Amino acid sequence: MTTRSSLPIRAAAVAALAMIAVAWTGAVPAPQGPLPSPTVRPTGASDAEALRPRIHFTPPRNFMNDPNGLVYYKGEYHLFYQYNPQGTTWGHMSWGHAVSPDLLHWQHLPVALTEQDGVMIFSGSAVVDRENTSGLCRPRGEDRSCLVAIYTGHGHGKQTQNLAVSQDRGRTWTKYPGNPVIDLGLKDFRDPKVFWHAPTRRWVMVTVLSDQHKVRLFSSPDLRTWTMLSDFGPAGATGGVWECPDLMEVPIEHAPGQSRWVLDVDINPGAPWGGSGGQYFVGTFDGTRFVADGPTDVPRWVDHGKDFYASISFSDLPAETRGPIWMGWASNWQYANEEPTTTWRGAQSLPRRLLLRRTPDGLRLVQQPTGSLASLFEKDGARHQMLVERATLPDTADLTFVVGRGDVGEIGLRLFNDVGEEVLVAVSADRRELSIDRRRSRNAPAPAGYAERHAGPLRSTGQVPVRVLIDRSVIEVFANEGETVMTERVYPTRPFTHVEWIGGRRPVSASTRLMALRSIWSNR
């Protein structure tokens, strides 16, 4: 959770594509137990809100930022999020709430945790206390489990860590009367991510001492009493406050049974393109201390776009699920309060599965969208096509192409409308750079830090497969099968309605695909 002291207040290849389609539209486990009621249209949404995404999660109304408390329990994926119930800019932080059977279709639920007695509900996590280690669950026969949320309370000049418990699958919550469970008397101590560490049979909490650029770890047998374990940092990027840490065991690609630990910690400001962003470290964790592999002075960035922050992984995923899955907030603190939307602000990324890939430079994080996106492909075959020259761009589209050795210059897509607004998604001639250029994407006043071109490094692999998911105001790009990822918001005054190759330069490979996607919401 970004502290408001740090917030700017203004603030090959047809085969290759086939492999991408299989790898990147993988299904999540079928739900078990009761399903949520049918998805409803967000209250306050209007067809006139042309920037509201159709497959990305947005709040029904008002302001949203960090995802919180991601957890799977009894057939439902829970998404909590930082939410202002009273307005469309940051304030009165509470936990909004939604559930999904498949990480794709979301049902909005009432606000879960609200500001009270001058204490706002900042970021945190949620876990399934399966064996009632906390003593807070009410066993029902053999089922001893309940959901426990661990969150930062922000108020009265300090930040503390607190608990809340739900006995009814997250529908209602009771704050623990013994709160806070950790109070260091500090004003910048927040964002607890808690997980069960099986080898030491105890809970581990990952927090940040934000202004000290340190990640602090604690352990507990019961979620209520906590003992400090160790600190990590300062390291990597330290140009702003550290926030929203996560510590995950991530499998290594093509190496069954092998894994490494990844420590993710975000920073605001201090990201490569200004404002907020996320960095990660790869290393080992023995239940007490995280130790990074090699030097930690050069940051490794999670996402090379401008708009991916506060990512957090799901707790308690089904055993058959491969790899951690996380989501991030698709915005930037430079302009989050000024997004040119109407009744709402803020969007979440699509869920992404995480892997580690061996490269000549060491292990690198790979992110691939998950959640059965293939189920949203339009049934009308006329809306799917090989992209030859210019084509009509659907509101939501999945575009895939491959840049090969025979391609020269800048190869990529121009998304545009009839009033001359455009955004460019491109790979450089030598495939060493992926870029998104939104300098001409809005013919109207734009927030500071928005009208820019951003780029991320590409490892040369002979062929570079690129996948572009455009969803009205959200663009997510995955190159080299998720090794280089960019997430950006775009704010045209009218929807982008056409797509063509930049400068008419089509890739030598004929492997291009444009697929239209249906909305996950009714009447949107």
Overall residue count recorded for the chain in this entry: 524
Span 174-186, average pLDDT: 98
Question: Which H helix or E strand runs over 227?
Answer: strand 227-232
Q: Which residues of 163-183 are buried (b: 16+ CB within 10 A; e: fewer)?
A: bbbbbebbeebebbeebbbbe
Residue at token pair 């299904």: 27
pLDDT band at residue 381 using 50, 70 and 90 as cut-offs: low
| pLDDT reading at 384 higher than 50 | yes
Question: Are 311 and 191 spatial neighbours (Cβ–Cβ below 8 Å)?
Answer: no
Strand order in the sheet with 433-437: 391-392, 498-501, 411-416, 422-427, 433-437, 453-457
522 burial via Cβ count (<10 Å: 0-12, 13-18, 19+): exposed
Q: In sequence order, what E strands does 314-374 have?
A: 325-329, 344-345, 352-359, 362-369
The reported pLDDT for the residue numbered 5 is 41
| pLDDT reading at 118 higher than 70 | yes
The reported pLDDT for the residue numbered 212 is 98
- Residue 169: name the closest of 198, 196, 140 by CA: 140
Type of residue numbered 131: E
Annotated catalytic residue, options 66, 303, 307, 471? 66
- Residue 513: name the closest of 465, 459, 455 by CA: 465
Which tens digits make up the pLDDT trace of 455-512? 999 997 888 999 999 999 999 999 999 999 999 999 999 999 999 999 999 998 877 8
The reported pLDDT for the residue numbered 1 is 61
> Would you state the torsion angle of the CA atoms of residues 283, 285, 286, 292, taken in this order, to the nearest 10 degrees?
40
Strand order in the sheet with 202-209: 190-197, 202-209, 214-220, 227-232
The reported pLDDT for the residue numbered 524 is 67
Q: Alpha carbon 82 to chain centroid distance?
A: 13
Which tens digits make up the pLDDT trace of 239-265? 999 999 999 999 999 999 999 999 999
Which tens digits make up the pLDDT trace of 48-93? 489 999 999 999 999 999 999 999 999 999 999 999 999 999 999 9
The reported pLDDT for the residue numbered 389 is 87
Task: For residue 252, give the DSSP letter.
Answer: B
The reported pLDDT for the residue numbered 12 is 39
| pLDDT reading at 382 higher than 70 | no
Q: How many CB atoms lie within 10 A of CB 237?
A: 23
Mean of all residue pLDDT scores within the chain: 90
pLDDT band at residue 24 using 50, 70 and 90 as cut-offs: very low
Task: For residue 423, give the DSSP letter.
Answer: E
The reported pLDDT for the residue numbered 96 is 98
Which tens digits make up the pLDDT trace of 119-154? 999 999 999 999 999 999 999 999 999 999 999 999
Return the structure tokens found at 300: 């490794």
Distance (Å, whole) CA 2 – CA 63: 14
Task: For residue 287, give the DSSP letter.
Answer: S
The reported pLDDT for the residue numbered 523 is 65
Distance (Å, whole) CA 377 – CA 4: 40
Taking phi over 0 as left and psi of -120 to 50 as alpha, with beta for the rest, 238 belongs to alpha
The SS3 of residue 344 is: strand
Q: Give the DSSP letter string of 183-221.
A: --S-SS-EEEEEEEEGGGTEEEEEEEEGGGTEEEEEEES
Distance (Å, whole) CA 57 – CA 61: 12
Return the structure tokens found at 435: 């870029």
Q: Alpha carbon 379 to chain centroid distance?
A: 28
Which tens digits make up the pLDDT trace of 187-228? 999 999 999 999 999 999 999 999 999 999 999 999 999 999
Type of residue numbered 296: T
Span 302-306, average pLDDT: 98
- Residue 477: name the closest of 369, 395, 390 by CA: 369
- Please indicate, yes or no, whether the overall pTM of this predicted structure exceeds 0.75: yes
The reported pLDDT for the residue numbered 20 is 38
| Residue 45, CA atoms < 13 Å, CB-side half-sphere | 19
Which tens digits make up the pLDDT trace of 310-344? 999 999 999 888 889 999 999 999 999 999 998 99
Span 25-32, average pLDDT: 40
Which tens digits make up the pLDDT trace of 400-419? 999 988 888 899 999 999 99
Residue 316 bears catalytic tag: no
Long-range contacts from 473-477, C-beta under 8 angstroms, 24+ separation:
473/51, 473/52, 473/53, 473/341, 473/347, 474/53, 474/56, 474/330, 474/347, 474/349, 475/305, 475/423, 475/425, 475/436, 476/349, 476/350, 476/369, 477/305, 477/425, 477/434, 477/436
